[in-house]
Structure 1
């Protein structure tokens, strides 16, 4: 999630745990702890792919943060003695302010390495967009009450309760969409294929469905208000013929570990060279995928690994007005909102007549 939300979450947790004893101090320290895991953005891991895939790594590990929280609790118990705050309360304060950050991150699409240094792909159970005002505003309101009144517990606790209730609603909305999607996939013979259901920007009412089927991927939008209406699927190329070449490269293999099959491959002419580029299809929206990386340059008939760089998306065919179209799609499936309207023609394979 964004930095403001993580700071607000840490402050709310801190206030809920020790606000009665520490007052405003619990809120301020909680906010600082809530942003601490994201300091890894200042670490340069060597190249664009490494920075992309190692963000939310060791600094988001539940093992590392629990250990750090325990250490801070020991220090506070020793050097900031308080008659009614023992090690148990300090431990709950520091550990919860820290670990709630990666736990919230894991509820977004990007992926969080909760179990580092254990092997395995990042954890991601996307139920909220990376920025969601409906989640953040109750936290901020509760903090405002706590800072103004000096009661560091009541306001933050109420804000935390409301934001947590919103997460439960988001989980229910996703479950409903997946329940409606399952028979559609079965009817089209797509059950068992890799697929991703995630919220569209800034809301949990309209959901984006991405299905990977070998050389192609299918996109659809499903609203919680669609009822039994069959979703409109659009089909796009994903350059799967280039996938073996990418996977033979160290950085291509790393991207595959991070994003799984949700990658698109293409050859672009960059600085007079044919360059292999991989794009993460999970993040953003069709036509607005922000993360594309160079992997190799073609020299004659061979591909030579290149130092990965991040590219700006050059295929977008729409502007922020698309957000308004998404908002209108939440409440009405007619007229249909077609993602192919935003995607470069060269990727489009099949679109329904309604588009």
Structure 2
């Protein structure tokens, strides 16, 4: 999820683990631990675009990484704060939970995490968007209330615990909402007697009221949305897969790597004789638009030796403003 949310979660976990002994230092180092896994984005700046995509939420978001880094960071901080009553083991325990709760939270998003690296398994429950104010804001308020109190205060621990309980309860609620919306899409497909191989759902940006669905229907995809405030039946929009348009390019390592990243939820589009790889997992800017534009779209470029490289399609800031306006309207029903 977003950096602020990971900082809040890390700080709350740090407080729960060691706040009674070291006070606000527990929140500080918990917050630091909560941001460390996302440093893979900095590493990605020095790599080619495709490799950067592949490593994101990879090893740094694994249990192995947490187990390896926690004692190292714990030893460093123990040396810095020798006068504190906390031991090296105490600090290591704080860093482990600060590090590991980061990928545990990210696993609920669409991108997911490789929590069990080196095993080739990406967990993505897709029940919360990467930025969700209803998860983060109450959590942050409870953390601030705890921060203002002395480390020995019982109220401090209660405020922090309440923040953890409320945020976790909301996460459980999003799983329930995903289950209900999934059933709505299933019923709509059954009502229209549509045959399909797979159904994939995820929440729209910034909320869990509006949900999107991708449906694999053979040589095409069906895209749909559903709001809990809807009064009209769910409708489906067809998108051809067009995988055959790639021809021999389909056998290239670049396309295969992209297909693996997209978990085979992709469509090929041709614009001005250029091939674009559209990752369907993150949906479109506006499902009702005449010409669909996908959030993650990559131009396939052949270099001088015939190998393929990719370039992410640029986003239009003005178009994004229109999308947000349309999203707010769509949340409240059709």
TM range (shorter): 0.7 to 0.9
Structure 2: runs of 5+ lacking an equivalent: none
Q: 1:278 touches 1:294 (CA, 8 Å); kept in 2?
A: yes
CA distance in 2, matches of 1:99, 1:190: 41
Mapped partners of 1:145, 1:174: distance in 2: 31
Q: Give yes or no for the alignment of 1:222 onto 2:264.
A: no
Of structures 1 and 2, the one with the larger relative CO (CA 8 A, separation 6+) is: 1
Structure 1 residue 317: Cα displacement: 9.9
Match of 2:294 in 1: 289
C-alpha distance in 2 between matches for 1:83 and 1:54 = 37
Tell me the equivalent position of 2:252.
249
- How many angstroms apart in 2 are the aligned matches of 1:153 and 1:98? 21
Instruction: Report SS of the residue matched to 2:113.
Output: coil
In 1, the alpha carbon distance for the partners of 2:201 and 2:249 equals 26
Mapped to 1, the partners of 2:29 and 2:79 lie a distance apart of 18
Corresponding residue for 2:14? 14
Question: Is the contact made by 1:177 and 1:222 (CA closer than 8 Å) also made in structure 2?
Answer: yes
Render the CA deviation track for 1:297-346: whole Å, top value 9, x for unaligned. 399xxx932332222157x995423333333333333xxxxxxxxxxxxx
Q: Tell me whether 1:138 sits opposite 2:138 in the alignment.
A: yes
TM-score, normalising length: structure 1:
0.80
- List aligned pairs for 1:1-355, cutoff 5 A: 1-44=1-44, 46-73=47-74, 85=86, 89-120=90-121, 122-151=122-151, 153-188=157-192, 190=194, 193-226=197-230, 230-242=233-245, 245-269=248-272, 274-285=273-284, 286=287, 287-297=292-302, 304-313=306-315, 318-333=319-334
- Deviation larger for 80-89 or 254-263: 80-89
**What is the Cα deviation at residue 206 of structure 1?**
0.9
Q: Is the 8 A contact 2:78 2:88 kept in 1?
A: yes
Provide the C-alpha distance between the structure 1 equivalents of 2:270 and 2:326, rounded to a whole number of angstroms.
Answer: 31
In the alignment, the residues of structure 2 paired with residue 176 and residue 244 of structure 1 have an alpha-carbon distance, to the nearest angstrom, of: 40
- Alpha carbons of 1:82 and 1:231: their partners in 2 closer, same or farther (altered >3 Å)? farther
TM-score by length of 2: 0.85
**Per-residue deviation, residues 175-206 of structure 1 (Å, max 9, x unmatched):** 11112222333454556523221101100111
SS at match of 1:282: strand
Give distance in 2, aligned partners of 1:246 and 1:277.
12
CA distance 1:89–1:182, change in 2 (3 Å): farther
Change (3 A) 1:72 1:140: same
- Compute the RMSD of aligned alpha carbons: 2.9
Distance 1:309 1:83 in 2: 50
In structure 1, stretches of 5+ residues that fail to align are: 334-355
Of residues 283-292 and 245-254 in structure 1, the stretch that sits farther from structure 2 once superposed is 283-292
